[in-house]
Amino acid sequence: MVPRGLTACHFAQESQHVNDWRPAFRNGRRTSECEPPELGILDRHPVQVGATRDEEYEQLPERQKKSLSFHEAVNFFSLNIHGEKALIEGLAKNLYLRKDPDISPYLHHFLDEENKHMIYFGRFCSRYAGEIYPDRKLSFPREYAPGEEEFLFFAKVMIFEEIVDVYNKRMGADSRLVPIAVEINRLHHIDESRHLAFGRLMTHWLFKRFAPEWSAETLSGVRNYLKSYLPSVWREYYNTDVYQDAGLPDVHALQERAYARPEARAHRDQVSRQCIQYLLDTQMLIEEPSL
């Protein structure tokens, strides 16, 4: 059952006390004189780690700092929506591939919870931003070795959700955030704690089951894919749409500067460390990815 605080009905009821933060819309677009709330991400957010405490960020007007913080939060929730959609599609595809009396019932429960997560992330973005930032990932069909596609699906889910969960834990206990944002992050972390444990076990089991049967070329390709997938996940946190909506200039150059800052690289490594170490310990990776 979805926690009480995040049913669609209760979400709407609990959101009434922050309705004065809702951006005004005129013909479907936010008017420039309406600024969104400060969600208190600041030095914890990967993009703002690339900007905070340097002159470029400190010289921004306070209203623009708040706007940047708000749109970073919308981007984070949008990434979760796209991640949940891909997860739901993949789980449904894998639902009855394995004749395991324990896994299939849990996948049903997994699907139910992920669908509810997508609802409250979507409600936040729709209510306060009036949009969900688009998913720009591309995938191309190809042939897979036995077990390769299934393993990569669960491995990608694990990587994505372990990064997200670090943010959920921090923001779910951050008194600077507005209550609805704290609640979303806190409750998502509670559910994801179970999902992450299952994801690690499932990913490792699939790797042990199929990797010995793969050719050296396939195994190398799988490892290289995971090695490149980690930085591709992080790139999505540096969204030029965020900077544009916050009124910042030269957004593509800003994206590159933010990503390249040493503080940002250190932050990505710190957030990803447990996940990377698990991949190395289980031999799913044999080299550190460059973040």
- Whether 257 is in a domain gets the answer yes
pLDDT digits 0-9 by tens, 122-146: 888 988 889 999 988 777 788 999 9
Domain span including residue 262 = 4-22+39-281
- Whether 288 is in a domain gets the answer no
- Whether 30 is in a domain gets the answer no
- Whether 28 is in a domain gets the answer no
Structure confidence at residue 251 (pLDDT): 93
Both tokens assigned to 16 = 């009434």
- The listed range with the strongest mean pLDDT (35-49, 53-67, 85-99) is 53-67
- Whether 255 is in a domain gets the answer yes
- Whether 95 is in a domain gets the answer yes
The answer to whether residue 247 scores a pLDDT higher than 50 is yes
Kindly indicate the confidence band of residue 196, based on its pLDDT and cuts at 50, 70 and 90.
confident
Kindly indicate the confidence band of residue 241, based on its pLDDT and cuts at 50, 70 and 90.
very high
Kindly tell me the burial class for residue 75, based on how many C-beta atoms sit within 10 Å of its own C-beta (0-12, 13-18, 19 or more).
Answer: buried
Q: How many domains does the chain have?
A: 1
3-state secondary structure string, 96-152? CCCCCCCHHHHHHHHHHHHHHHHHHHHHHHHHHHCCCCCCCCCCCCCCCCCCHHHHH
- Whether 34 is in a domain gets the answer no
**What value does the mean pLDDT take over residues 25-52?**
34
- Whether 47 is in a domain gets the answer yes
pTM of the model: 0.78
- Residue bearing tokens 């972390």: 189
Structure confidence at residue 42 (pLDDT): 32
pLDDT digits 0-9 by tens, 149-178: 999 999 999 999 999 999 998 888 888 777
Which H/E stretch holds residue 30? strand 29-30
Which CATH number belongs to the domain containing residue 225 in this structure?
A: 1.10.620.20
Q: Residue 150 and residue 172: Cα distance in Å, rounded?
A: 32
Residue 147 has a CB neighbour count (10 Å cut-off) of: 16
- Count of CA atoms in the C-beta half-sphere (13 A) of 281: 9
Q: Residue 39 and residue 87: Cα distance in Å, rounded?
A: 27
Burial 157-180 (b: 16+ CB within 10 A, else e): bbbbbbbbbbbbbbbbebeebbeb
Both tokens assigned to 76 = 């984070």
